[in-house]
Amino acid sequence: MQSQKYRVPYSKSFLEFTLPHTMQATVIVSQPAEPVKDVPGAISEALAHPIGTKPLRELAGPSNRACIVFTDITRACPDHLLVPALLVELEKAGVRDEDITLLCGIGMHRSSTREEKITKLGAGIVERYLVIDNDPQNPLVLGDLGVTPGGVPVQLHRAVVEADLVIATGVVEPHQYAGYSGGCKTVAIGAAGEGLIAYTHGPVFIDHPGTRLGRIEDNPFHEAVTETARRANLRFILNVVLDDDQRVLCVLAGEPDQAFQELVTFAKSIYEVPIPHQYDIAIGGVGFPKDTNLYQASRAPSYLFFAPTPVVRPGGFLIIPARCEEGVGSGVGEQRFLAAMRDAPDLHFILDDARRNGVPPGQQRAFVMAKVLEQARVVIVGSECPELVAACKMIPAATMEAALALASNELGPSCDVLIVPHALLTLPVINSEHPAAPSRHGPGRGDIAHGRHDAARLGILDKEITKL
């Protein structure tokens, strides 16, 4: 009997593997949906009929200074389609080229290269307009918009603060802090100063029970970015929802809150997938561009852990293939993450120090990963920087076979395995209607769920499974 092959994204390709015959697998992806066939047409339709506001060409005027905040290279948002369409609307409103600033919302990530700006926007746009990066540590380019009732210091790039009209692109997908990304977050975090990012990404927010994947109600992070964007006069968004292959499923434009709510409703119907119980092992795919460095790739184990209920049992394994050709990452935040993980004597030190003293932006990822590593082992497969993986208190493995052997040695050969090829998009949600999980060594372990949640409902990834 031939083995069954599985594959998950790895860099710009895939990594294929088989499981030991003693392990059983459940594979989940986002719910199936038909991609938009004519994306430029759908963008035009969204701009012509925005939600909750007038069309952009009617909001803008010839004397306006406009700022479009777009996502950086770590986001799969199709800004090369969204931004030109927004610029056409501004041109029709009579806004002059010299009154338009395109701000790359890097947050605390490294600055974008010229090549990355061209990839995101197109060479013609980069040549024609002023395209700049956020500069969160430079007080000379930051404007102060006060402090929110929740204590968040609102400092944003002056290109945003001084604009008459602020517009944002974005991709709406599960986000560990915001519940769902996109909407106000592109401006509120992408264009923010270090103080704002530090406060919203600190232990007080991360420890809050409302700060969860897939949750925007009673989520203090979501409330903070919404208030920040309101103070920044964000008036219009153009956002998309993508499938696992980064194809556009939905595009909407309009007033930030109303348009975002509709996008989240659609996104939940796609990304949230029921599973019957916790598993011994979860294998999460990342792929380009998120697996170019360890800081970004580590989102996958934390997403699986910070699902509404962690997808692995205490003591389980989270296995993440990630090339990490840029090491941990060269940005200020990435280097803070490395220093905190590497220099701490143990996980408790990271957690206690953060709760006592707070953390600067970037270092919050060390706090997050320490919370994950308290309960689970994280194995990074196929990285080009195994020494940095180990320094960050995770386990490097050259191959999937080595990672699975490590888990088997720790947990025993009879493990049930959850495979999530797109771990940053698919949000596994344990369904309480299922019976309690069987013992790891009992009958039925690891079977794909049956009954009311059939294969289509579970989003079983037929196209990612090749039977030999």
Binned at pLDDT 50, 70 and 90, residue 466 comes out as: very low
Residues 391, 24: contact at Cβ < 8 Å? no
pLDDT in tens, 22-35: 999 999 998 889 99
Residues 1, 422: contact at Cβ < 8 Å? no
pLDDT in tens, 303-355: 999 888 899 999 999 999 999 999 999 888 899 999 999 999 999 999 999 99
Residue with structure tokens 């993508």?
242
pLDDT in tens, 407-458: 999 999 999 999 999 999 899 999 854 433 333 333 232 332 222 233 333 3
Would you state the pLDDT for residue 438? 36
- Separation of alpha carbons 236 and 166, rounded Å: 7
CA-CA-CA-CA dihedral for 398, 402, 403, 405, to nearest 10: -170
Binned at pLDDT 50, 70 and 90, residue 459 comes out as: very low
Instruction: Name which residue leads in pLDDT, 4 or 43.
Output: 43
Closest CA to 341 of 318, 373, 317: 373
- Separation of alpha carbons 241 and 388, rounded Å: 34
Tell me the helix, strand and coil percentages in the chain, rounded to 5: 35, 25, 40
Would you state the pLDDT for residue 432? 56
Provide the 3-class DSSP secondary structure of residue 191: coil
Would you state the pLDDT for residue 468? 28
Closest CA to 336 of 357, 364, 358, 355: 364
Question: Could you tell me the two tokens for 220?
Answer: 């203090």
The structural domains of the chain, ordered by start, are 4-30+276-467 (3.90.226.30), 39-269 (3.40.50.11440)
User: Average pLDDT in the 384-409 region?
Assistant: 98
* Cα-Cα-Cα-Cα dihedral sign, residues 179, 180, 185, 189: positive
Q: What is the mean pLDDT of the chain?
A: 90
Is the pLDDT assigned to residue 1 strictly greater than 80? no
- Separation of alpha carbons 415 and 412, rounded Å: 7
Other C-beta atoms closer than 10 Å to the C-beta of 431 total: 15
Would you state the pLDDT for residue 22? 94
The secondary structure of residue 277, as a DSSP letter, is S
Per the document, the length of the chain is 468
Would you state the pLDDT for residue 359? 87
Based on the number of CB atoms within 10 Å of its own CB, is 91 exposed (0-12), middle (13-18) or buried (19 or more)? middle
Would you state the pLDDT for residue 467? 29
pLDDT in tens, 69-82: 999 988 889 999 99
Instruction: Name which residue leads in pLDDT, 401 or 425.
Output: 401
Bridge partner list, 4: 467
User: Average pLDDT in the 374-401 region?
Assistant: 98
Other C-beta atoms closer than 10 Å to the C-beta of 42 total: 18
Is the pLDDT assigned to residue 292 strictly greater than 50? yes
Would you state the pLDDT for residue 2? 59
